[in-house]
Structure 1
Amino acid sequence: MSEVAPLNIIILGGGIAGLTTALALTKFAPASRPPPQITLYEIRPEPATIGGAVNLTPNALRLLSHLGALQEIRANHYGKECGAVEVFDLYTGSKLSESSFRGPDGNGLGNPPFAALRITRGESLKGVLAAIDKHSNIKLICGMKTTGIKEDANGVRLTFVSGETVTADILIGCDGIHSVTRLKHVEPERKSVYSGICNAFGFAPRRKTPSGEYEDTHFETSAMNFGRRGMLLTSFHDEKQDSIYVGALMQIPEIESRDGWKARGADAEKTRQDILERYSSANNPLVNHLIEDVQDLFLWPVFTLSKDGKWATERVMLIGDSAHAMPPQGESTGIVFEDGVLFARCLGRWMEKDDGSPVKQAFDAYERLRRGRIEVAWDESQSVVKTVNDAGWLGHKIKLMIVPWYLWWTRGYREAHFIEDVTTSDLKY
């Protein structure tokens, strides 16, 4: 009796989405079959990520633990535990509300309980790469630019700028909002759209007082400081607490060309002056100090995709931002991890059946499970855009009344999601 051949999978994109999806595909492959052979192709010359610090919510940490990556993050002391994201009025310094991850007994949410973790994207990538290194069936190849994708009944063929071609049983696009997988194959007409807001971010070394102590902060770990012309996030991101992540979400007119965005994003001093102009009326002097001291400032325009769109063909699947990019709404990274795990479980169930049914059956099952959650998250992200749009004094006062009410009203829904574990949810097929 001949041995069953392993499923050959190509993933385009060697960032967090692609790497965690590879881990999930390995973990949830059926024991009755050899592990899938997974090759990730990354366009950058080495593993890297763009962005500042993200908040990994309890559901995100739970999945990283299942995949073996959280253990690597903890072992290297990456990130700073976050019990809550606190909300402040920029002009009075008063605390308005918070989004808590502490749970009823203060230890976190879920079973086992997790709080949240504020961590730089770079350190989260290092933790996931360390987990990848422990799996011989996963290979990451960098410096590969895809120029063509062809699909037929037998598989998928990729062509790279070098002229090299590779084939696989299935292709998974984890290559972000400007996804080559989507634009060259799955849905070329579905282009990204500028959301109207940008994230300006960097890291500020923490000032010391004349007595040698660090300058006090008004927050425990993370704070959202709401002003009339945007929202300023200030947050610790590691255990040393000697540096503070600064991220300004603000409304900025669109720049037509990609080169124009690059030039504007690279002008750190112009970005600093813009942030100072918007937030210089802060009640707390720490805010001005952070903006004055922040280093490596970068302006990143936030692009989105339409709410509806095609996620798959017969042998190609889009995961994460390549399928449903949206403005940041507090859970974006966790949503990507859930995508990868749910998809891996659906594919594993299909592999286990081994009844000759097309792999599209697994793709369809995943979409049935996932579409509703993504649509809700997309709607929530539009509310975030509204809260950072420019407003007058009256509009700002109304916003400060709405935000605490909204956090109170949605607390039960958010905590239910933080407790959720998609490794055990019913696959329904």
Structure 2
Amino acid sequence: MAPASPDALKVIILGGGIAGLTTALALTKFAPPGQVPKIDIYEIRPELATIGGAVNLTPNALRMLDYLGALPIMRERGYGRNIDYLEVFDIYSGKLAESSFSGPDGNGVGTPPYKALRITRGDALKAVIAAVEAQDNITITCGKRTVKIDETAENVTLQFEGGDSVTGDLLMGCDGIHSVARLKHVEPDRKAHYSGVSNAFGFAPIEPDFKVHFECTAINFARRGMLLTSYHNPQGDSVYVGGLMQVEDVGSRDGWKSVGADAEKTRESLLERFGDSKIPCIVPLIKKATDFFLWPVFTLSKEGKWCTDRVMLLGDAAHAMPPQGESTGIVFEDTVLFSRCLTRWIEKGKPNTMKEPFEAYEKLRRKRIEIAYEESKNVVSTVSDAGWLGHTIKTYVVPWYLWFTHSYREKHFIEDVTTVDIGY
């Protein structure tokens, strides 16, 4: 791919996760001819992390990844497992509902059509990293801890631990919920808070004759949480087991690391919560999982500041919320919409300040994020501990909710933010 253009923007991205990497791809993809930006990504870890659970990439997420060049790599390498429909179960009584991604003719939704893909975070990141490494204008530097951010009318400078620094025209804060860009510069008082629920996950290797109750992915509701069971590769020889459940706050990040490191205690907790399942494979899958990790779900307040004059926050750094089925796709849409707004500003000759594209992006994005935030609160209440009556009510409400929101969700799956009117 083309190298950075001599007089193009110099962009600094904090965070080498999925948000930072896709932001770099989007800024490159949408750059006007002769204006390919020089992009430097800085990651605090000593190397890019390619670990984590499994995520559901909805049709709108796949559309963005295809456009950014990462989906073809996923397909070529055989990453992930296609999802025609997601199944919902009550572990005590059986199947409650389905949520389909197949569309009217069975090929998917949108034009061109996409279904959904269950994929490990590690494999998703590997594909995105490969797409980034094919771009001559993007560099990635790991092991860089930012200690100070200085901004002037002309540029923004990052000071790193050890004394070195970097200066650019624009800083993208894509460094997650505990964002340095937010906490050291954009809005220091807006700190993450624990949602009250945690995600416990592991991977269970299975034999060819092991019987499961789902086609690809199942959400299994219980009185004390929700267990996701899903294939995540074409071979079907491993099942992702992820429990979203109410867990008491331990009070500190170090405390959570200590609790999360005890895999057997996490397994015991899952067996306590889901061990009375009437679905035969649930207990064996929990027992088969080779390891378990426990991750507390942190969130940010609904309202908050996303930018200064030369710094913009994207993804969890701006609007972290509990998982609600589309979180990853929302991040990809963030990156594409912002890149389109910035490109329009470049095409207009980079007038005055970056206020114009920043405001255009927020006008496009705030309402969608607010809706997603409200949806995520429903997830927390749904997976929180409930008695017999509360759980019984849930088994009636969940199928109705899926039916009632079907048209809204499909409309969003079909939407293509690469072509939507950005309003200026």
Q: TM range, normalised to the smaller chain?
A: over 0.9
Residues 162-203 of structure 1 show CA distances to partners (whole Å, capped at 9, x for unaligned) of: 211110001000000000000000000000010000000010
Q: Which residue of 2 aligns with 1:235?
A: 230
Match of 2:40 in 1: 39
Is residue 401 of structure 1 aligned with residue 401 of structure 2?
no
Counterpart amino acid of residue 149 in structure 1:
I
Distance in structure 2 (CA, Å) of the matches to 1:275 and 1:421: 39
Distance in 1 (alpha carbons) for counterparts of 2:16 and 2:41:
6
Distance (whole Å) between structure 2 residues aligned to residue 356 and residue 381 of structure 1: 38
How far the C-alpha of 1:34 sits from its partner, in A, is 2.5
Show CA shifts across 1:373-400 (max 9, x none). Answer: 0000000000000100000111110000
Matched, 1:67 2:65: no
- Matches of 1:35 and 1:418, distance apart in 2: 30
Shift of 1:305: 0.2
What do residues 299-333 of structure 1 show as CA deviations (whole Å, max 9, x unaligned)? 00000000000000000000000000000000000
Q: Which residue of structure 1 aligns with residue 80 of structure 2?
A: 79
Instruction: Give the Cα separation in 2 of the matches to 1:34 and 1:302.
Output: 39
Q: Secondary structure at the match of 1:295?
A: coil
The structure 1 residue matched to 2:20, chosen from 18, 21, 29, is 18
Q: Which amino acid aligns with 1:12?
A: L
Instruction: Give the partner amino acid of 2:53.
Output: G
Distance in 2, matches of 1:263 and 1:106, equals: 46
Asked if 1 retains the 8 angstrom alpha-carbon contact of 2:345 and 2:351, the reply is: no
Alpha-carbon distance between aligned partners in 1 of 2:98 and 2:385, rounded to the nearest angstrom: 22
What's the CA shift string for 1:218-251, capped at 9, x where partnerless? 1011000000000000000000110000000000
State how 1:346-425 maps to structure 2 within 5 Å: 346-425=341-420
Residue of structure 2 in register with 1:88 after alignment: 89
**Aligned-partner SS, 2:61:** helix
Q: Which residue of 1 aligns with 2:31?
A: 29
Distance 2:8 2:405 in 1: 44
Tell whether 2:169 aligns with 1:169: yes
The SS at the match of 2:291 is strand
Match of 2:138? Answer: 138
Q: CA-to-partner distance for each residue in 1:350-395, whole Å, 9 max, x for gaps?
A: 0110052211211111000000000000000000001000001111
- Is 2:247 the partner of 1:252? yes
Partner-residue secondary structure (3-state), 1:285: coil
Distance 2:272 2:139 in 1: 47
Asked whether 1:118 is paired with 2:118, we answer yes
RMSD: 1.0
Q: 1:355 to 1:347 in 2, by over 3 A?
A: closer
Contact 2:322 2:380 in 1 (8 A): yes
Aligned-partner residue type, residue 360 of structure 1: K
Q: Does 1:152 align with 2:152?
A: yes
TM-score by length of structure 1 reads 0.97
Cα distance in 2 for residues equivalent to 1:155 and 1:326: 31
Gaps of 5+ in 2: none
Structure 2 distance, partners of 1:340, 1:238, is: 27
Task: Name the SS of the counterpart of 1:113 in structure 2.
Answer: coil
**Equivalent residue number for residue 280 of structure 1:** 275
- 8 Å CA contact 2:177–2:316 kept in 1: the answer is yes
Partner of residue 219 from structure 1, selected from 214, 222, 226: 214
Residue 106 of structure 1 corresponds to 106
Counterpart in the other structure of 1:265: 260
Runs (4 or more) in structure 1 with deviation over 6 Å come to: none
The separation in 1 between residues aligned to 2:390 and 2:330, in whole angstroms, is 31
* CA distance in 1: counterparts of 2:330 and 2:403, whole angstroms: 22
Deviation of 1:85 (Å): 1.3
Q: Any idea what the Cα deviations from partners look like across 1:260-306, whole Å, max 9, x if unmatched?
A: 11100000111110100000011122100011111220000000000
**Structure 2 CA distance, aligned partners of 1:56 and 1:284?**
26
Letter in 1 for 2:17: G
1:30 deviates by 1.1
Counterpart of 1:74, as a letter, is R
1:7 paired residue number: 9
- After superposition, the C-alpha distances for 1:9-47 in whole angstroms (9 at most, x for unaligned) are 00000011000010000011112x330000000011111
**Contact 2:39–2:139, Cα closer than 8 Å, also in 1:** yes
Partner SS state of residue 307, structure 2: coil
Q: Would the aligned equivalents of 2:156 and 2:167 in 1 still touch at CA under 8 Å?
A: yes
Structure 1 pair 391–355 and aligned structure 2 pair: CA distance change class (3 A): closer
Instruction: Give the C-alpha shift of residue 4 in structure 1.
Output: 6.4
- Secondary structure at the residue paired with 1:231? strand
Contact 2:37 2:137 in 1 (8 A): yes
Correspondence 1:202 to 2:197: no
Q: Quick one: distance in 2 between partners of 1:42 and 1:360?
A: 27
Structure 1 residue matching 2:99: 3-state secondary structure: strand
Corresponding residue SS for 2:92: coil
Residue by residue over 1:109-153, the C-alpha shift from the partner in whole angstroms, topping out at 9 and shown as x without a partner, is: 000000000000000001111111211001111111111100001
Select the residue among 297, 316, 320 that pairs with 1:321. 316
1:129 is the counterpart of 2:129: yes
How many residue pairs align between the two structures?
Answer: 420
